[in-house]
Copies of this chain bind each other. A is one copy, B any other.
Amino acid sequence: MIAVTQQSQTVHIDLGDRSYPIVIAADLLARSSTYAQCPPAAQALIVTNSTVQPLYAAQLKAALESKYQQVHTVVLPDGEAHKDWQTLNLIFDGLLSKGCDRKTVLFALGGGVVGDMTGFAAASYMRGVPFVQVPTTLLSQVDSSVGGKTAINHPLGKNMIGAFYQPQLVVCDLASLDTLPAREVSAGLAEIIKYGPIADMEFFEWLEAHMDALRSLEPAALMHAVKRSVEIKAWVVGQDEKEAGLRAILNFGHTFGHAIEAGMGYGNWLHGEGVGAGMVMAAHLSQRLGLVDASFVDRLTLLIARAGLPTRGAVIDATDNAGAYLEHMRVDKKAQAGEIRFVLIDGLGNATMRSAPDSLVREVIDACCMQGVGIQG
């Protein structure tokens, strides 16, 4: 570790009485002092999954035991395929069987799925208990653990059931990324890359220069990428907590990406992989609508490829692939009265929300999809 990562950096999400800090550093997770400002309670409950539990749960439990009399742990099965009610209910079973009251603090220890489910459990248990995000994946550190979106999936759509519910604190321990498989590092890079085209092309250029350093988890590069991503997200969420407008730009690449994830069955493509291919497709659509030129599409596609991500969508239906994409996209939460709302790039560093003719969208899907691509697991 080099010196720069031993300094912790703090980014504030400014949402009035729902404001909270995001603390970024190496080796935060196991320190009691990290949690000094957490709400007091008799009990705390760590929610984690079967992959992360053996790596970090004991450390977190030990750190919390100086503050909470009882620290329980609920271990969920790992993966997006389990982001459902049955698995969510394991958290409620744990809370109720331990007699946890409405002051109990929940700690989400893991990636985006653990964070989204723990957040929704916290929002709903006794109509709301406090929670803390301790994201251990790159994707959840730079995106899902920040901003208060919580949810579970429904068989007919991803993240369809949830709440806007803000954590008390987000703890980004960069050292926890050391155990992350390369495929998941790439998935996290997708959400980092997206901040460039929608908000900050200087950051995009920095990513072009530091992609190799990021893939090898160089601490100084990680610190900058996580901090800048979280700053951009904080700026967007601070203006539009409940996605009335601006916040939707954070979903660049997600409309196409969700269609791939849903079409392939949740869990086959990682979320970040869907976003990677989805950003390429959204860039192509932006170009066909005359909003960006081909050189930008090529530049973005190259960076996504260098991040180790798929740059083409999967064929999700052999008979009518574009039709299958459109059907999935029409149940996207951003759709209104059946009209799909795409996040498009309108000049470098600037996003816009637009609908597009089905025929044009079909052309993009036909041009950007290839049988059997992108599944590396």
Contacts and interface: CB of A to CB of B under 8 A. Distances in A.
A125 interface: yes
Nearest to A103: B336
A150 B163 CA distance: 13
Nearest to A327: B99
Nearest to A42: B337
A35 interface: no
A97 interface: yes
B160 A92 contact: yes
Contact of A92 (B42, B101, B150, B154): B154
A93 B149 contact: no
Contact of A102 (B126, B156, B163, B333): B333
A146 to B, nearest CB: 16
Contacts of A180: none
A242 interface: yes
Nearest to A162: B127
Nearest to A123: B163
A150 B124 CA distance: 10
Chain B CB within 10 Å, residue with most, of A127, A149, A338? A127
A126 B103 CA distance: 27
Contacts of A156: 93, 96-97
Given A126-B162, A127-B243, 9 more contacts: A92-B161, A96-B154, A99-B338, A101-B335, A102-B336, A103-B336, A103-B337, A124-B124, A127-B242
Interface of A, helix, strand, loop or mixed by DSSP: mixed
A127 B157 contact: no
A15 to B, nearest CB: 14
Given A92-B154, A96-B154, A164 B101 contact: no
Given A156-B93, A157-B96, A127 B151 contact: yes
Contact of A101 (B97, B128, B337): B337
A149 B127 contact: yes
Interface in A90-115: 92-93, 96-97, 99, 101-103
A248 to B, nearest CB: 11
Nearest to A86: B85
B154 A99 contact: no
Interface string A317-346: 000000000000011010111100000000
When all copies of this chain in the complex are counted, the total is 2
A89 B99 contact: no
Interface string A127-159: 110000000000000000000011100101100
Contacts of A151: 127
A262 to B, nearest CB: 12
A163 B128 contact: yes
A43 B335 CA distance: 13
30 contacts: A42-B337, A43-B337, A85-B89, A92-B161, A93-B156, A96-B154, A96-B157, A99-B330, A99-B331, A99-B338, A101-B335, A101-B338, A102-B333, A102-B336, A103-B337, A123-B163, A124-B124, A124-B163, A125-B160, A125-B161, A126-B160, A126-B162, A126-B333, A127-B149, A127-B163, A127-B164, A127-B242, A127-B333, A128-B164, A163-B163
Contacts of A149: 127
A336 B102 CA distance: 7
Contacts of A331: 96, 99
Contact of A242 (B128, B330, B335): B128
Contacts of A161: 92, 124-125
